[in-house]
Structure 1
Amino acid sequence: MQITVLTATYNRAHLLGDLYDSLCRQTSKDFIWIIIDDGSSDGTKQLCGKWLHGNNGFKIEYCYIENGGKNRAINLGVTRVETPYTMIVDSDDYLVDDAIEKMNKAVASVSSMNAVAGVSGMRGESVINSLNQLQQNYIDASNLERKELGINRDCCEVYKTEILRSHPFVPWEDEKFVPEEIVWNQIALEGYKLRWFNFITCIVRYQEGGLTKGAWSLLKNNPMGYAMMFNHRLLYEKSFQNMCYNTIQMISCTILGHHMKYLLKSNNKFLTILLFPIGCVVAVRRYMQLSRK
């Protein structure tokens, strides 16, 4: 057994069943499903209890924790994974019927490649469009090379579990979310690539108030998480314009988060000093925007 499907969920009992049904339909049942319930109060525990005792053809593990955000839930889940690979699937998404079968073949193709951190299929919306799909079977590239290679759509990655364990998400101490790109791009900065395959394995359904559509709410409640993201981008951004933009955003988020000492950890201290006045203006503007939402 190579793959564990890892799902963090919070009050998604009305959607989680679609993911469960898609796992029951898998052409290969050679996987484990770990559910980390991040403090749900909508009957998720009772629903998962039924599945644990059902005849579904695959192993299910369920763990309830106090609400601490998706990042912390995923960190905990990764510590419980015993398979070599981990496939993080959101609770409002579901898999195509042969996703596990395809991913098992995909991981077999890179199992001996130390510089490859994992594999990935594509993610599609309920109405699948073919824009920006790869023009070949697969490409080996880092997460930072995706845009220039045309892989600029949502993907469904399967990472080596040991790499996820050594790269946990680190949300700010009094916040619940930090953008996941920090981890994926840090893995890329360390020289790891993924093998990106040209087939869809996961169907996404973006929810109002979810992590994708709820960006303003996330920034309002997790300004330091976003400050960390903008600061991390300064490690690899190449254009001066992008470096200035991310520096200004880092400054504004740090001001909103009331943790001014974080600016001492800037990855470009010269630009931080130079652009600090502009960052202050952006912070005031953003505060006004967030106050109206």
Structure 2
Amino acid sequence: MLLTVFTSTLNRAGLLPRIFESIVRQKRTDIEWLVVDDGSEDDTPEIIAEFARKVPFPIRYYRQPRGGKHRAYNMALLLARGELMLTLDSDDWLPDKAVDVIEEYMPIVRCDKKICGMIALKADANGNIYGREMSGKVLAAGDNAKYEEVMCTGERCIILKTDVARQYPFPTVEGELFMTESVMFSRLSIDYGFAIVNKVLSYCEYQSDGLTQNIHTLLCQNPVGFMIYHSQRINQATTLKAAIGAALRYVAFRSMAGVNGNAAEHSGKY
């Protein structure tokens, strides 16, 4: 199987048909849709079951106790059957022929063991790209300056080799329900490169109750996760100013985390 499309969802039954229909329009049978439900209380299970009866490709549904998208992602890593894995949030969907484009780039990904996947563009419903296009054809492993250019100048669609992604699960922190994806991507970028795809491979329509729109709450409620992220950014900073900024934010989140931050730091486990 070429591709696992993974979606973590929480009470977003009304948005799931848009993802489903975009996958159907790919007209492929070498893909699967893997849905991990993070404790929904709506009719998500029934909707997914109805979808699964209509299509020739596998749709698999799993439910976990409320734990956050990063825990759902870790579950998906264990369950995915595709050679590649693409994460679509519940407010995302695929453009037509997105999987065909992914297949076009597969020779680059397969022939280089130091490339772990693809970085592509993401756009809104009107086709406006989030951020700017990327330069070059490859983001090489350990190229911190290029990583800043590619990953920090807009939203991206990331497609990963599943067997590589399994080696880089999210750390989890007891009592915290969010961890930025950058924690995982920045770790990956130390050891692996990415093929750059300057084509839109996912659309997004941010919701008023979504994670992106509630960043202040996330910062306050998940300080250890952000402490971990900024500790990584200190080492990967490309300028002294950036390193100092990351260090200051690390200290601030460590202070917010209090005892939990001290325990996490001393144990080396999250």
Kindly report which structure 2 residues correspond to 1:65-84, keeping only aligned pairs within 5 A, or say none: 65-84=64-83
The answer to which of 37-46 and 26-35 deviates more is 26-35
Structure 1 residue 149: Cα displacement? 5.8
- Residues 107 and 119, structure 1, Cα contact 8 Å, conserved in 2: no
In the alignment, which residue of structure 2 is the partner of 1:116? 115
In the alignment, which residue of structure 1 is the partner of 2:29? 29
Whole-Å separation in 2 of the counterparts to 1:155 and 1:258 = 33
In the alignment, which residue of structure 2 is the partner of 1:94? 93
Q: Does structure 1 residue 172 correspond to structure 2 residue 173?
A: yes
Gaps of 5+ in 1: 266-293
Structure 1 residue 108: Cα displacement? 3.1
Whole-Å separation in 2 of the counterparts to 1:148 and 1:264 = 29
Whole-Å separation in 2 of the counterparts to 1:58 and 1:151 = 35
Kindly report which structure 2 residues correspond to 1:140-159, keeping only aligned pairs within 5 A, or say none: 140-142=138-140, 144=144, 145-148=146-149, 152-159=153-160
Structure 1 residue 121: Cα displacement? 2.3
Q: CA RMSD in A?
A: 2.1
Structure 1 residue 201: Cα displacement? 1.2
The answer to which of 254-263 and 159-168 deviates more is 254-263
In the alignment, which residue of structure 2 is the partner of 1:3? 3
Q: Which has the larger radius of gyration?
A: 1
Go from structure 1 to structure 2 and tell me whether the alpha carbon gap of 1:57 and 1:121 turns closer, same or farther (over 3 Å shift): farther
Give 2:170's aligned amino acid.
F
Structure 1 residue 71: Cα displacement? 0.3
- Residues 85 and 159, structure 2, Cα contact 8 Å, conserved in 1: yes
Structure 1 residue 146: Cα displacement? 3.8
Structure 1 residue 27: Cα displacement? 3.6
| TM-score, normalisation: structure 2 | 0.90
Whole-Å separation in 2 of the counterparts to 1:189 and 1:51 = 39
Structure 1 residue 262: Cα displacement? 5.5
Gaps of 5+ in 2: none
Q: Which has the higher contact order (CA 8 A, sep 6+)?
A: 2
